[in-house]
């Protein structure tokens, strides 16, 4: 997989405001937030998108969701939040590295776009 802005954040060649890091993932604040809380949770493993997931990635994706839920609790998103995986250009994916958006801190409308 080609180098992305996210792989450069993982290897610390680009700075980020990190909220969480463990062996499997990194979570950091989006530089262009769409809500008062907008955190990206990314796997350290290079996976281009949801469309590229394999059965062996199931535990990693589950871990991303659990980390996002823990962050939502820690950040006080008691009135709710949204978790979003965008897939492909038409799905709104702008970086070819799997990432989960955690959005909250305001009422979120539906449909999203």
Residues annotated as catalytic are 99
- The backbone region for 63, taken as left when phi is positive above 0, alpha when psi lies in -120 to 50, beta otherwise, is alpha
Q: What is the 8-class DSSP label of residue 110?
A: S
CB-CB neighbours of 86 under 10 Å? 17
Q: What is the 8-class DSSP label of residue 76?
A: T
* Residues 66 and 19: beta-carbon distance below 8 Å: no
């Amino acid at each position: 997989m080609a180098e992305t802005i996210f792989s450069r954040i993982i290897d610390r060649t680009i700075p980020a405001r990190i909220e969480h890091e463990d062996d499997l993932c990194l979570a950091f604040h989006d530089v262009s937030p769409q809500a008062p809380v907008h955190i990206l949770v990314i796997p350290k493993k290079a996976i281009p998108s949801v469309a590229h997931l394999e059965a062996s990635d199931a535990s990693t994706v589950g871990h991303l969701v659990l980390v996002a839920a823990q962050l939502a609790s820690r950040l006080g998103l008691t009135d709710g939040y949204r978790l979003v995986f965008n897939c492909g250009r038409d799905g709104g994916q702008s970086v070819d590295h799997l990432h989960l958006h955690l959005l909250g801190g305001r009422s979120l409308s539906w449909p999203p776009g």
